[in-house]
């Protein structure tokens, strides 16, 4: 019985893998055409030597990779590309588009990898949960539902890996996952790119400093939010425990 069950699952996994490859290729081609049009092209000149589409595609690919393997520089890629946009070397709109689609595609990829290969993902998730930033963010989101985790998790590199992987392991409804992944990924890309573009414009002569400052600003915002949240919880917890003391 166990053998027949395993053998029956193999064709399903092959069909699913084939379907994912086909969808991936189709989405990539559609993205190339969309980026070419957004960059002022006609959607057909993808091999033009002066086309910047491949640079936008690199942004998309790195953001996808960052969602699956956190060592890739997702935020840094958007910060750097947006700084180049502030200098007139790229266009901000296509960067935002590539970042949003990359975030959504990467989140979904990790979700399905975790859902289909739980044994290979659980150890990596456990390691990621030991990250101090992840521990802090999870404490901030304690008791929140899936939408809040998906929205806020997109802004914290290690946390989004934990959230998306855990959602896959738990077989969280994919339609709901995809909805909030789209909302979180799009807002994250717009925010990250707009902030880096604004700082890059203000510090036009210091592009490297612009990239570094953009990352620090986001970290500082979440640090302030966490400290504010802790302060609001302390009086409530003190009032709750006082009668029993």
Q: What are the structural domain ranges in the chain?
A: 2-244
Q: For 191-237, how does the pLDDT look when each residue is reduced to its tens digit (9 = 90+)?
A: 999 998 998 888 766 667 766 777 677 666 666 655 565 566 555 55
- Assess whether pLDDT exceeds 50 at residue 138: yes
Q: What is the pLDDT of residue 44?
A: 44
Higher local confidence (pLDDT), 92 or 17:
92
Are 180 and 172 in contact, with CB atoms under 8 Å apart? no
Rounded CA separation 68/84 (Å): 26
Q: What is the pLDDT of residue 48?
A: 46
Mean pLDDT computed over 41-58: 62
Mean pLDDT computed over 147-161: 81
Mean pLDDT computed over 46-67: 76
Q: What is the pLDDT of residue 51?
A: 60
Q: Which tokens sit at 165?
A: 């992987």
Rounded CA separation 86/198 (Å): 8
- Assess whether pLDDT exceeds 60 at residue 64: yes
21 pLDDT band, cuts 50/70/90, is low
Rounded CA separation 149/161 (Å): 11
Are 101 and 87 in contact, with CB atoms under 8 Å apart? no
Q: What is the pLDDT of residue 194?
A: 93
Q: What is the pLDDT of residue 14?
A: 60
Rounded CA separation 198/149 (Å): 28
Are 161 and 110 in contact, with CB atoms under 8 Å apart? yes
SS3 state at 189: helix
Mean pLDDT computed over 169-183: 89
- Assess whether pLDDT exceeds 50 at residue 42: no
Its pTM surpasses 0.75: no
Work out the angle between the directed axes of helices 174-202 and 92-116 (0-180°, nearest 10).
Answer: 150
Rounded CA separation 55/98 (Å): 10
Which one, of 178, 173, 152, lies nearest residue 163 by Cα? 152
Neighbours of 16 (CB within 10 A): 12
- Assess whether pLDDT exceeds 80 at residue 190: yes
* 169 Cβ contact partners less than 8 Å away, ≥ 6 residues apart: 114, 115, 118, 121, 122, 125
Q: For 97-120, how does the pLDDT look when each residue is reduced to its tens digit (9 = 90+)?
A: 999 999 999 999 989 888 887 777
């Amino acid at each position: 019985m166990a053998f027949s069950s395993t053998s029956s699952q193999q064709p399903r996994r092959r069909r699913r893998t084939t379907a994912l490859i086909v969808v991936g290729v189709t989405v990539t081609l559609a993205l190339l055409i969309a980026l070419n049009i957004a960059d002022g092209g006609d959607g057909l000149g993808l091999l033009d030597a002066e086309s910047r589409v491949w640079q936008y595609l690199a942004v998309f690919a790195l953001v996808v990779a960052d969602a699956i393997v956190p060592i890739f520089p997702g935020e840094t890629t958007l910060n750097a590309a947006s700084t180049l946009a502030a200098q007139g070397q790229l266009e901000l709109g296509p960067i935002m588009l590539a970042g949003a689609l990359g975030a959504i595609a990467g989140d979904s990829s990790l979700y399905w990898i975790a859902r289909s290969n739980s044994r290979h993902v659980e150890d990596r998730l456990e390691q990621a949960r030991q990250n101090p930033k992840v521990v802090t963010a999870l404490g901030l989101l304690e008791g929140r539902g899936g939408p809040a985790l998906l929205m806020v998790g997109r802004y914290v590199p290690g946390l989004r890996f934990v959230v998306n992987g855990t959602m896959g392991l738990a077989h969280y409804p994919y339609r709901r996952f995809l909805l909030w992944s789209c909302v979180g990924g799009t807002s994250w890309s717009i925010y990250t790119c707009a902030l880096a573009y604004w700082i890059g414009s203000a510090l036009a002569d210091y592009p490297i400093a612009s990239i570094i400052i953009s990352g620090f600003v986001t970290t500082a915002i979440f640090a302030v939010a966490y400290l504010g949240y802790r302060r609001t919880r302390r009086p409530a917890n003190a009032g709750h425990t006082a009668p029993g003391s």
